[in-house]
Structure 1
């Protein structure tokens, strides 16, 4: 009996050491934030906007995406404050559920705010355990909250459209961690994805115009302030300089008669920094593969010599795109391709002695030698247009 009582006493005492759910948060008491937008008001205060799903409106399918008037399955709200947390606290005052940020995947920055400096964003985000440094950072053309008001037709939430566009094969996926490293590393400047809203055309009188989110390029930063935008071929050139294997579309002319559109993929870039007779030089070697997606003018790609001409035209296109990106960096006094980092790693003494205090001004006098080697791996299922008449012998 004594043994049984002792065992029972030990079991009862051990129960006192067990923890309970004293601070539990029920799922129906939580508002899941999918994305946030940061803008600056005329008086300098911060406008903080959030987008969250409405659980009661997510049971059935909503036609026309998530942004059709009257059938929205999400809610957008914003508030103004001196700091991010102050605006967030004011938002929380009128919400019956606690805002939860662990499911947030994108952070949108308004263009005006980006031009004033984004360094403060990296103070508020890492302080909360719910916020992740892997979320994608996007600069919006104009106001960031206008991206939240878009009505994409393929996605239920605008935040999903933004996230899918950032992850697309033709875009460099840039998250907060990568931007922070660029801002804190010597000889480098940050870039972020740059997006805007484009109003699509009406297909009939009874349909409404949709506001689609569009990838426009990459926002260019000097220290933490936005100074410009890489667009079109400049954006492709930047991706190749950063050795990002993005998929790009290029249209080239052959013999001034034929127009060929190529899909360029699997690109690689190697950059070496050194000095020649006291002048700084960067040797850039790029390799890429491509396939023909369209050929106007009935250009016969069954001949090896003609394939080589296409490859030469593609080499010129890639080189020109990279040079345009470099000229854009020099004009805006930025080092978005991190040339200074290559110089710092390969020649730390030269960097500290001559260039550290005045970079990226040193890029203006540097020599950039670019060598491109591209290979046309696919010409498609046909060599010539199928409607071309057969030649008689």
Structure 2
């Protein structure tokens, strides 16, 4: 009887030990490292995924494919269409022998035409997808997103990894950051923009990718892409110029290049006749890396002239993007958000409703305080 009880207890203990009947083998998964969303036909989405081919990674086997897939290079590009993102994924899945797995996605790229239509629904779909990581970098492409996924940069295994590294070194905006800013009062969306560059290889879609400009949004719709100068202005305002090189003119056809060590921005507000006015203080320090004109930076008069030129260019960079954005009723820096936090009651009752019409007339002065260090041939640093 005692043995029977022990045997029965053992049997009960075995019940929860069901083994691995529902396990998923790695060989059954297609690891998605990049996704793209483009505007499809008849109000549909065109959804694309980038999946590294196991054979190119030293593994065995490879993902199957069919219509809407291409496997040239070390990765597979598969596309599908649907009324929503879920349908697009299912359309792709029907042609793959492995199950799509999104937990390792590096980047989400939204095509230019789709960005003009709006990105809110796309972000909501990504947010509610169980495997999605909100640390995924969000990027807008000039042209179609699928073309960026097909690019074949030489320094990385895939274009998704290349875009991830570029985004991390640039504005460093993730899906979580964009979701938080999408409905933030008094602040508009800014998302890094990627575009193809280099020469098109013969009979191949492979290109290098370039990420140096930004996509500026009005609500959730793309309004415009920035120029190089405007992009610099955004980076100064976002305090993201650190560890970047910055060139400015010091004489006719001669430039000086400074590597930026520190970049900080401090907005100051004052209310004049009931209207807000801002003074933006920008602090910049860097060290000299190139001196085309061979100017003697040790000379106080020469140094002051160099600093004056540098400060003037930084100021012009910032004013160029503020002017273009404010003219279109876009608060690119977030002056409205500053008012929301500092003068909440006035914001709610006096400024909020008319903020877009107030922006073109908003007075913003920019003061730049720059300092350059020089590294001599002996390695010593001379601070001026």
TM over 0.5: yes
Q: SS of 1:373's equivalent?
A: strand
SS of 1:269's equivalent?
A: strand
CA RMSD of aligned residues (A): 2.5
Alignment CA distance shift 1:199-1:125 (3 Å)? same
Q: How far does residue 371 in structure 1 lie from its aligned partner after superposition? A: 1.6
2:372 aligned residue (366, 369, 376): 376
How many residues end up aligned between the 2 structures?
369
Conserved 8 A contact 1:272-1:342: no
Spell out, residue by residue over 1:235-270, the C-alpha distance to the aligned partner (whole angstroms, 9 max, x if none): 111122223354443322335585312222320111
Alpha-carbon contact 1:153-1:210 (below 8 Å) kept: no
Verify the 8 A CA contact 2:258 2:372 in the aligned structure 1: no
1:240 aligns with 2:236: yes
Q: Distance in 2 between matches of 1:48 and 1:283?
A: 44
Q: Can you list the C-alpha shifts for 1:200-231, whole angstroms capped at 9, x where unaligned?
A: 388xxx99896110114110000000001122
Do the aligned partners of residues 332 and 323 (structure 1) sit closer, same or farther apart at CA in structure 2, a change above 3 Å counting?
same
Matched, 1:322 2:323: no
For residues 70 and 350 of structure 1, the distance between their equivalents in structure 2, rounded to whole angstroms, comes to 58
CA contact 1:258–1:299 (8 Å) conserved in 2: no
Q: For 1:45 and 1:298, how far apart are their aligned partners in 2?
A: 58
Superposition map of 1:310-389 within 5 A: 310-381=306-377
C-alpha distance after superposition, 1:249-301 (max 9, x if no partner): 33223355853122223201111333123232012111111122211222112
SS of the residue 1:125 aligns to: helix
Matched position secondary structure for 1:301 = coil
Q: Paired residue for 2:65?
A: none
After superposition, the Cα gap between the structure-2 partners of 1:5 and 1:307, relative to the gap in structure 1 and judged at 3 Å, is farther
Partner secondary structure for residue 243 of structure 1:
coil
Question: Within the alignment, does 1:228 sit opposite 2:224 as a pair?
Answer: yes
Structure 2 gaps of 5+ residues are 60-69, 380-384
Partner of 2:171: 172
Equivalent residue number for residue 382 of structure 2: none
| Structure 2 Cα separation of the partners of residues 105 and 207 of structure 1 | 27
1:218 lines up with 2:210 in the alignment: no
* Partner Cα distance (1:79, 1:52) in 2: 14
Q: Residue in 2 aligned with 1:253?
A: 249
Are 1:50 and 2:46 counterparts? no
244-253 or 282-291: which moved more? 244-253
After TM superposition, the score normalised by the length of structure 1 is: 0.87
Is the CA contact 1:330–1:363 (under 8 Å) kept in the aligned structure 2?
yes
CA distance in 2, matches of 1:70, 1:344: 50
Matched residues in 2 for 1:14 and 1:272: separation? 68
SS in 2 for 1:120: helix
Pair 1:301 & 2:297 matched = yes
Displacement of 1:114 after TM fit?
A: 0.2
Deviation larger for 85-94 or 259-268: 259-268
Cα displacement string for residues 123-167 of structure 1 (whole angstroms, at most 9, x for unaligned residues): 211212201111001100011111112121112211111112112
Q: Of 284, 288, 294, which aligns to 1:292? A: 288
Structure 1: state its 5+ residue gaps.
61-68, 384-393
SS in structure 1 at match of 2:37:
strand
Match of 1:386 in 2: none
Q: Which residue of 2 aligns with 1:283?
A: 279
Distance 1:380 1:19, change over 3 A: farther
> Which runs of structure 2 are paired with 1:89-100 in the superposition (5 Å)?
89-100=90-101
Give the whole-Å Cα distance in 2 for the aligned partners of 1:380 and 1:213: 36
Q: Deviations over 1:291-338 (max 9, x none)?
A: 222112221123233223222222111111111110121123211211
- Output the TM-score relative to the length of structure 2: 0.89
Query: Residues of 2 paired with 1:331 and 1:248: CA distance?
Result: 29
Q: Does 1:31 align with 2:30?
A: yes
Residue 387 (structure 1) aligns with: none
- Counterpart CA distance in 2 for 1:78 and 1:345 is 44
Q: d(CA) in 2 for partners of 1:208 and 1:79? A: 21
Alpha carbons of structure 1 residues 272 and 56: separation in structure 2 relative to 1, 3 Å? same
